[in-house]
A and B are shown apart, each in its own frame.
Chain A
């Protein structure tokens, strides 16, 4: 999938000597309309947009993303709306990659094949499934590849060396490295320096593989992690939406400001 939009984003960023910025927002947070507006607006600064399809029993998400997910579900988001948001976004931003992210039960209920087909029709570029680990995800990942959709493998600090090699070798255009033992949005309990050290060890396995770091990245820490191929910010953005609602301010403007500042720290 060397001509995929995801791959191209990394190529472009490398030329500019900076990491790729990935954002994560929850579809339907705080409304369907607003989440599409947020997505469009932040994509001015974000290189790749991750869009969460919310689940009400998330076993790997911290407080901020849980709050966003529950809010979106309460406001009526359905899985078909998630695809609509993605499709509308891609209609305007043809070259901006979008990755859907969520839990396997939603895909299972939709039916794996139908889900992938719907992704394809909505021009979704990639998929992250939090609770479908390697090697159980091999069949599903292959199905995605056949339809030109990137299945993004996750690796963690607990992943063994031999497993790392297998996962990286079987992966598509991008691998997601979980920075620390934590749910999403936890406070960085490891220094950025240590994270980068670990990261570089992993990179050595296959230098050409694009590996991004996520979990616990904020405006304070993003600058010191910019040696990575890409950096994901999720909870800090979800938190901004929550705060904007509390202060009765427009989340689109506030979130865009946050993403702009994040981008400025890594260029």
Chain B
């Protein structure tokens, strides 16, 4: 298994849609074969279409607000000593998280395919919020599938979804979280694929959805590359890019331009959700060595029983609370290009406290997992090392959880 150079990772799959010969693919019911083929064709056409690229760039700049800032966290760096800590504040994007990139591209594709309805899944509510925003912007009718547990714990985003005129469909099956929302959304699409477009909220699902999402979020690393050269006149010699990983859309977006670099120069660190310290449950299939399995149409490392039943997961962050992970991250793990670890709920909360104490930054619980790793390793590194955390979401949505756990927001 080997990575190729000069080809985007999203395109390094074989004819059957597998990365590294075993991750990804399209394990789908027959009914979805045709809609997925159509979507694949359309996406490949659009990607090469000048008009579409122009449109994409226009909306990324004028609607999403690209580029998002890269800032140095002076106070936090000084407090910890060691490496310089920086943040790519992707949460400054319109809507407050990186999910807007994928949502915008899907809305544009939906329009191009002449479909009037768009549906999507959401965990933390950001994918849902952004899709509802994009749907409103482009005049599409929108339904968002969300686990009943997540609806309760991410209320601010649910309010936003409703305000944008989209309908939230609560999902009561299974663990009532993201995994069930994705299943229900796919089932809905099976029944309505003739007039409805489906947006998968992360770099998961059948091959084409991994590609579309990765294509969209890769904007983050394109910006970062330019910003680094502006700041340092080159890509620093010791660079570490730290990102939380649930499905893995923001991490892929943050890393895609840097995968070709030698890992001694640019280290890629993914931080999964380790769940509560005292719980056996987690949402960390990569770093806690789950087996390969098939979930939501793709083969990836999946938290599951020996027989193949998908395990319940547990995490304070709804956005990372997912038993599977993107096939491209499985590929990055097996080729050893990226290193994956996890942070517990408690680690993430501590990190949130420390970051907000020293900096004018309000990372949601998802990137707080990434900050936890940065805080852990920064003191052991020298001042020449540049640690950049993708602060990919804003904590407004976590208001209730933070109030409950930290007594304040």
Residues of chain A touching chain B, judged by Cβ–Cβ distance below 8 Å, are 55-62, 66, 70, 73, 78-79, 103-106, 108-110, 130-134, 136, 154-160, 163, 178, 181-183, 186
Point out the residue from A70, A157, A183 that lies within 8 Å of B187, measured CB to CB.
A183
Determine if A58 and B293 form an interchain contact, defined as CB atoms under 8 angstroms apart: no
Given contacts A106-B307, A158-B34, contact A136 B190 (CB under 8 A): no
Which of B30, B187, B191, B293 counts the most chain A CB atoms within 10 A? B30
Determine if A131 and B183 form an interchain contact, defined as CB atoms under 8 angstroms apart: no
A247-B317 Cα distance, complex, nearest whole Å: 41
A163-B31 Cα distance, complex, nearest whole Å: 12
Determine if A73 and B309 form an interchain contact, defined as CB atoms under 8 angstroms apart: yes
Q: Which of B19-43 contact A (CB under 8 A)?
A: 25-35
Residues from chain A with a CB closer than 8 A to the CB of B31 are 60, 156-158, 178, 181
Determine if B187 and A104 form an interchain contact, defined as CB atoms under 8 angstroms apart: no
For chain B, which range describes its interface: under 10, 10 to 19, 20 to 34, or 35 or more residues?
A: 35 or more
Which of A57, A103, A105, A186 counts the most chain B CB atoms within 10 A? A57
Determine if A181 and B28 form an interchain contact, defined as CB atoms under 8 angstroms apart: no
Point out the residue from B29, B291, B302, B306 that lies within 8 Å of A154, measured CB to CB.
B29
Query: B313: shortest Cβ distance to chain A, in Å?
Result: 12
A108-B306 Cα distance, complex, nearest whole Å: 11
Determine if A59 and B310 form an interchain contact, defined as CB atoms under 8 angstroms apart: no
Q: Which of B284-324 contact A (CB under 8 A)?
A: 291-297, 299, 302, 304, 306-310
A157-B35 Cα distance, complex, nearest whole Å: 11
Q: Does B174 contact A (CB under 8 A)?
A: yes
Q: Does B186 contact A (CB under 8 A)?
A: yes
Closest to B27 in A: A131
Query: B214: shortest Cβ distance to chain A, in Å?
Result: 22
Given contacts A57-B310, A182-B190, contact A136 B35 (CB under 8 A): no
Query: B14: shortest Cβ distance to chain A, in Å?
Result: 12
Binary contact readout B158-195 vs A (1 if CB under 8 angstroms, 0 otherwise): 00000000000000011000010001001100111110
Binary contact readout B1-28 vs A (1 if CB under 8 angstroms, 0 otherwise): 0000000000000001000000001111
Determine if A183 and B191 form an interchain contact, defined as CB atoms under 8 angstroms apart: yes
Closest 4 CB pairs of A and B: A109-B308, A158-B34, A156-B31, A105-B294
Known contacts A133-B28, A178-B30; 18 additional CB pairs below 8 A are A57-B174, A57-B183, A58-B183, A59-B186, A59-B187, A59-B190, A70-B174, A79-B308, A104-B27, A109-B291, A130-B29, A131-B29, A133-B33, A155-B30, A158-B35, A159-B34, A181-B193, A183-B187
Given contacts A57-B295, A57-B296, A59-B296, contact A158 B33 (CB under 8 A): yes
A9-B296 Cα distance, complex, nearest whole Å: 35
Determine if B179 and A57 form an interchain contact, defined as CB atoms under 8 angstroms apart: yes
Closest to B29 in A: A60
Query: A146: shortest Cβ distance to chain B, in Å?
Result: 22
Point out the residue from B183, B192, B302, B308 that lies within 8 Å of A59, measured CB to CB.
B183
Residues from chain B with a CB closer than 8 A to the CB of A104 are 27, 294
Determine if B173 and A70 form an interchain contact, defined as CB atoms under 8 angstroms apart: yes
A133-B26 Cα distance, complex, nearest whole Å: 9
Query: B330: shortest Cβ distance to chain A, in Å?
Result: 15
Residues from chain A with a CB closer than 8 A to the CB of B291 are 109
Query: A83: shortest Cβ distance to chain B, in Å?
Result: 12
A158-B30 Cα distance, complex, nearest whole Å: 8
24 cross-chain CB contacts under 8 A: A55-B308, A56-B309, A59-B183, A59-B186, A59-B190, A60-B29, A62-B187, A70-B173, A104-B27, A105-B308, A109-B304, A109-B306, A109-B308, A110-B307, A131-B29, A133-B33, A136-B16, A136-B26, A156-B33, A157-B31, A158-B32, A158-B34, A159-B33, A181-B191
Query: B291: shortest Cβ distance to chain A, in Å?
Result: 8
A224-B174 Cα distance, complex, nearest whole Å: 36
Point out the residue from B25, B190, B292 that lies within 8 Å of A183, measured CB to CB.
B190
Given contacts A66-B173, A158-B35, A160-B34, contact A105 B295 (CB under 8 A): yes
Residues from chain B with a CB closer than 8 A to the CB of A106 are 307-308
Given contacts A133-B30, A178-B31, contact A103 B190 (CB under 8 A): no
A70-B310 Cα distance, complex, nearest whole Å: 12
Residues from chain B with a CB closer than 8 A to the CB of A133 are 26, 28-30, 33
Point out the residue from B28, B191, B192, B293 that lies within 8 Å of A108, measured CB to CB.
B293
Residues from chain A with a CB closer than 8 A to the CB of B190 are 59-60, 181-183
Given contacts A131-B297, A181-B190, contact A159 B30 (CB under 8 A): yes
Closest to A157 in B: B31
Residues from chain B with a CB closer than 8 A to the CB of A110 are 307-308
Residues from chain B with a CB closer than 8 A to the CB of A59 are 28-29, 183, 186-187, 190, 296-297
Point out the residue from B25, B29, B174 that lies within 8 Å of A56, measured CB to CB.
B174
Residues from chain A with a CB closer than 8 A to the CB of B304 are 105, 109
A109-B295 Cα distance, complex, nearest whole Å: 12
